[in-house]
Structure 1
Amino acid sequence: MSTDADTDSAVEQILRSYDTIVFVGASDAEHKPAHYVPEHMREHGWRIVPVNPRGGTILGEPTYQSLADVPQPVGVVDVFRPSEQTPDIARQAVAAGATALWLQLHIASDEARRIAQDAGLLYVENRCMIIEQRRLNLNAPSH
């Protein structure tokens, strides 16, 4: 069982290490966290890669229909989908070569955690990336 200290450590490691964030469930609806979280993270220097089955563009970025369609290496995957969908997303993240999986606030799954941790991924659940970025007062790492 992971502890809050383990999660805090994973949060800090992710925000200090990754300069690109893949957002599964990204939205073009401005009132949704799946829109304003990626927007906020981009404003603080992170490159954003939206994933949404509808495709198109979100926040001016090309949107990929699945994790498997993302053409560049996938590092951290931030998930804005219901908890019951996260085990499948965790499997897709592992298959795409992700090294970290982050489930947003109010999203948690024992099965997704097990899949991610068995594959050696850093894992965070039920945490908001904006809240954590502000708490740690971090901007994207420069690589």
Structure 2
Amino acid sequence: MSSIKEILKKVKTISVVGISDKPNRPSGDVALYLKEKGYEVFGVHPTLREFEGIKIYPSLNDIPKQIDLIDIFVNEENLLPIVTDIIIAKPAYVWFQYGVKSESASKSILSAGIELVQDRCIMEEHSRLF
């Protein structure tokens, strides 16, 4: 498995699944931080279409570009239905933010040969390492 530093150096495109425009939700802040650090960021949300210049799509399948890393901000109930979409998207990495937990989803993602980072904040890790 790659180190977190290696992952953050390699990736160019990131999809934030569960991006929100609500001020009390960290997903929007994380997406903006990643964009400011030079990553190409796309959001996934069923109803939002844009947030602070970040294009948002209704599903991972709708993003017209190969995604290197999928950053997950949804709970297990909303994660399980998109595991197939994650596997079809074939990212090199999936990142479960703090509190995102699903043994079933984790097993499926790892079985598909996708590296998985769990229970860490990508923004905190990036700011700590760079």
**Same fold flag (TM > 0.5):** yes
Q: Does 1:136 align with 2:129?
A: yes
| SS of residue paired to 1:63 | strand
Q: Which runs of 5+ in 1 are unaligned?
A: 1-5, 138-143
Counterpart-to-counterpart distance in 1, 2:67 and 2:13: 8
Q: Does 1:111 align with 2:104?
A: yes
Structure 1, 65-74 or 94-103: larger mean CA deviation? 94-103
1:23 to 1, 6, 16: 16
Shift of 1:61: 2.2
Normalised to the residue count of structure 1, the TM-score between the two structures is 0.83
Counterpart-to-counterpart distance in 2, 1:131 and 1:50: 19
Does structure 1 retain, via aligned residues, the 8 Å contact 2:70–2:93? Answer: yes
Quote the sequence identity (%). Answer: 29
Runs of 4+ residues over 6 Å off in structure 1: none
Q: Which has the higher strand share?
A: 2
Aligned residues between the structures: 130
Normalised to the residue count of structure 2, the TM-score between the two structures is 0.90
Q: Which runs of 5+ in 2 are unaligned?
A: none
Please, what is the CA RMSD of the aligned residues? 1.5
Does structure 2 retain, via aligned residues, the 8 Å contact 1:87–1:115? Answer: no
1:65 to 54, 58, 80: 58
